[in-house]
Amino acid sequence: QGRMTLEEILAKVDTGAEAREAEKLAAKEPFDVLVVGGGPAGSAAAIYAARKGVRTGLVAERFGGQILDTLAIENFISVKETEGPRLAAGLEEHVKQYNVDIMNLQRAEALSKNDDGLTEIRLANGAVLKSKAVILSTGARWRNMNVPGEQEYKAHGVAYCPHCDGPLFKGKRVAVIGGGNSGVEAAIDLAGIVAHVTLIEFD
């Protein structure tokens, strides 16, 4: 369905890839600026840093971040309408116009200071990246409820974006989990489309 890039597929198939990649990453010289996150904010941070002529790196679990899971985007100023993967590709193309070391498919797990005063980012594969400054642009992700059936029914009745997926439930009865600002707003938006909304709140 195009939800996984060739790069991601090869990383899963090649069992030795992670260890080789960790070795390469650990050997990198310290950065002046290291951006953690590859969504719109991380991309912008990397571009602005690189334009200043400093040694810039960008490490991301998935370049593009949450927008990769969003089909229709209509609230990105100056772009009337686009799809998430297309916007992510445009962001990556823009970042690559500058001297930015992009380290994709790398999950950052810990941040610490070393004795040299450098900030260290430990990755899930065990590699450690060093930098004089770190910009955290870790963005957002859909919040999972971790209840039975949630993973199995994702995209088959379980949805995370009322604006994107609401029209798919036209005339049906739906439940919104969470009564904070986002939950109430989602319930109000859905009320104009669906037959009935039940709002479920923890607190």
Residue tagged active-site, from 32, 69, 101, 161: 161
189: annotated active-site residue = no
User: Which whole-number Å values give the CA distances from 11 to 7, 20, 143, in the listed order?
Assistant: 6, 11, 26
CB-neighbour burial class of residue 105 (10 A; exposed 0-12, middle 13-18, buried 19+): buried
CA distance 107 to 37: 9
- The residue type of 3 is R
Question: Does the annotation count 164 as an active-site position?
Answer: yes
Token pair 């949630």: residue: 150
Which residue in 115, 164, 189, 203 is the catalytic one? 164
| Cα–Cα distance for residue pair 109/64, rounded to 1 Å | 19
The answer to whether 39 and 67 have CB atoms below 8 angstroms apart is: yes
Q: Is 161 a catalytic residue?
A: yes
Give the active site residue among 32, 69, 101, 165.
165
Positions annotated as catalytic residues are 161, 164-165
